Amino acid sequence: MSTPGPTIVAVGGGGFVSTPASPLNSYVLGLAGKPRPRICFVPTAGGDNLAYVAAFYRACAALDCEPSDLALFMRTGEDVRSKLLAQDVIWVGGGNTANLLAIWRAHGVDAAMREAWEAGIVLSGSSAGMICWFEASITDSFGPQLDPLDDGLGFLPGSACPHYDGEDRRRPVYRAAVAAGFPGGYAADDQVGLRFDGTELAECVSAREGASAWRVDSGGERALPTRLLS
């Protein structure tokens, strides 16, 4: 099978750790285009929480894949770049996006992720693992009040907001920020994924009936066509 081009699946919430039976997991793995793809869980945003890591492995036990994880708080000595470039899929967990970005930059993960993306390794994740790929985002990294963050990795242009229907304040805060001049972008309800081929939105998918992806700009928001996964 041919190697896929640069691909990111940005998931508003859910996935391997919090919704282990979600069809989004099989969807993401299938984008690797090969049997038994190698998938690495990067739990930095959650502080490498061992319960999260264990949940990831339990989810993968029911799927046809080869799982591993990359720890950055308790370094094992393995080379970050080599580990990530050996994967077919990389899944980034949720948690504190600002901490994730700082730690990745300290360890060179940001550069390795860009190299992996350009090599056709599928990048994906939910919550923090959704928004880290964009230039900007709405985050609770600094407290429950929600704040704009404008120093994302910038693989994808514009901004993003997760949990659009899962947390009451996400929608009004994001819409108000964009109306006030914050970069426009995309929002995703929980269990919704936006697949980008290169930097272009290719498809929106959902593991939950009625959930949607959204385009948000200075003119307001509009629901995007979203395919329900079986």
Encode pLDDT of 66-103 as tens digits: 999 999 998 888 899 999 999 999 999 999 999 999 99
pLDDT digit string, tens, across residues 48-67: 999 999 999 999 999 999 99
Does residue 55 sit within a domain? Answer: yes
Q: Is residue 194 part of a domain?
A: yes
Q: Which percentage of the chain shows pLDDT scores above 90? A: 94
In a domain, 148, yes or no: yes
Distance between CA 173 and CA 147 in Å, rounded?
8
Kindly give the pairing relationship between strand 134-139 and strand 122-126: unpaired
Within-domain flag for 88: yes
Q: Which domain holds residue 107?
A: 7-228
Between these two residues, 144 and 6, which has the higher pLDDT value? 6
Mean pLDDT of 195-213: 97
In a domain, 2, yes or no: no
Q: Tell me, what DSSP letter sits at residue 225?
A: P
Provide mean pLDDT across the span 7-28: 96
Per the prediction, the chain carries an average pLDDT of 96
Q: How confident is the model at residue 217 (pLDDT cuts 50, 70, 90)?
A: very high
pTM for the whole thing? 0.96
DSSP 183-201: PPEEEE-TTEEEEEETTEE
pLDDT of res. 3: 54
**Does some domain include residue 124?**
yes
pLDDT at 43 over 70: yes
Closest CA to 175 of 185, 163, 190: 185
Pairing of strands 156-161, 134-139: parallel
* 159 is a catalytic site residue: no
Catalytic hit among 137, 163, 206, 212: 163
Is 107 among the catalytic positions? no
Q: What whole-number distance in Å separates Cα of residue 12 and Cα of residue 206? A: 10
**Mind listing the pLDDT tens digit for each residue in 96-143?**
999 999 999 999 999 999 999 999 999 999 999 999 999 999 999 998
Closest of 180, 192, 197, 198 to residue 225, by C-alpha: 192
In a domain, 28, yes or no: yes
| CATH for 106 | 3.40.50.880
Model pLDDT, residue 168: 92
Tell me how many domains the chain contains: 1
Is pLDDT at 4 greater than 90 in this prediction?
A: no
> What is the rounded distance in angstroms from the CA atom of residue 91 to the CA atom of residue 10?
10
Structure-token match 């992720």, residue found: 113
State the pLDDT confidence band at 1, using cuts at 50, 70 and 90: very low
Three-state DSSP at 177 gives helix
Binned at pLDDT 50, 70 and 90, residue 5 comes out as: confident
Look at residue 80 and tell me if it is in a domain.
yes
Residue 73 DSSP label: S
* Alpha helix ranges (H) inside 50-108: 50-61, 80-85, 97-107
Identify the active-site residue in 124, 126, 127, 206. 127
Q: Assess contact for 47 and 102: CB atoms under 8 A.
A: no
